[in-house]
Amino acid sequence: MGEKEIIERSERVYTRNILKEEFKKIGLKAKMTVIVHSSLSSIGWISGGPVAVIQALMDIITEQGNIVMPAHSGDYTDPENWSNPPVPNEWIEEIRAKMPAFQKEITPTRGIGIIPEIFRTFPDVKRSYHPAFSFTARGKDSDYITKEHGLDYGFGTNSPLGKVYELDGSILLLGVNYDRNTSFHLSEILSQKKEEFKNGAPVLVNGKRVWKEFKDIVFDEDQFNQIGSDFEKYHNVKKSKVGQAETKLFNQRKAVDFAKNWIIKNS
């Protein structure tokens, strides 16, 4: 969506202070641990853009809580598995050989929106070390959330999603639906019902680029909106709006457990 269209559909200009009050109204509080999945354009025209959104979130959650966002870089994977879009077969070996190693300080995010991309550059934001499925976190437990992110099953229990599960955190869908809820990937792994495959990526080992293979599963986000709709029938999902963006706020652990059982039942 272009900026002209965003201006035309906006009821007002949104600022950091206005967003702070709206985040408060939808149920965000100081000291919470919350994973944020977001769409900037859905909110409306914002003075300060993604920076204002992030600052408003930090104003509410404070350093005594934790803000977590995806920082995925799906192009740092084995090109043989790429499908959106695929590359010619004759390119694959050269891509594997020449792709830069993942570096959490500089590797950009891909396909998850501008808010998490800007968030990863903020002071005091930590990023986990996974070439494809890293997360960023800011707050009192950010070291715990982002450390020791295993390569195998990058959305599994040994990932920031697993750490938020242990902390009994929440999920905020800001202008997006359940198909953007990465915590359901943790459910897919816990269900043990998904096909496994071998992936790979270039990483740094003792300062040198090394191609590492790791285990993962075939994800199916196409199910996620239905899982979310069914979840709402049995659990509390606080629905509201921030600006013009529809929001959903709910407990991550309950959602993960529900989705795991849903997948087992429907597989």
**Percent of all residues in the chain with a pLDDT value above 70, rounded to a whole number:** 100
- Check residue 8 and give its pLDDT: 82
Q: Which residue has the tokens 């790979």?
A: 200
Residue 35 CB contacts under 8 Å (≥ 6 apart), including other chains: 68, 69, 70, 161, 164, 169, 170, 171, 172, 182, 183, 252
Tokens of 226: 């239905």
Q: What is the pLDDT of residues 49-74, one digit of tens each?
A: 999 999 999 999 999 999 999 999 98
| 146 compared with 8, residue with greater pLDDT | 146
Convert 20-33 to b/e letters by CB count within 10 Å (16 or more is b).
bebbeebebeeebb
pLDDT grade for 9, boundaries at 50, 70 and 90: confident
- The upper half-sphere exposure of residue 75, i.e. CA atoms within 13 Å in the direction of its Cβ, equals 13
Q: Which amino acid is located at 141 in the chain?
A: D
Residue 261 has pLDDT above 90, yes or no: yes
Average pLDDT, the chain: 96
pLDDT grade for 217, boundaries at 50, 70 and 90: very high
State the pTM of this model. Answer: 0.96
- Check residue 1 and give its pLDDT: 73
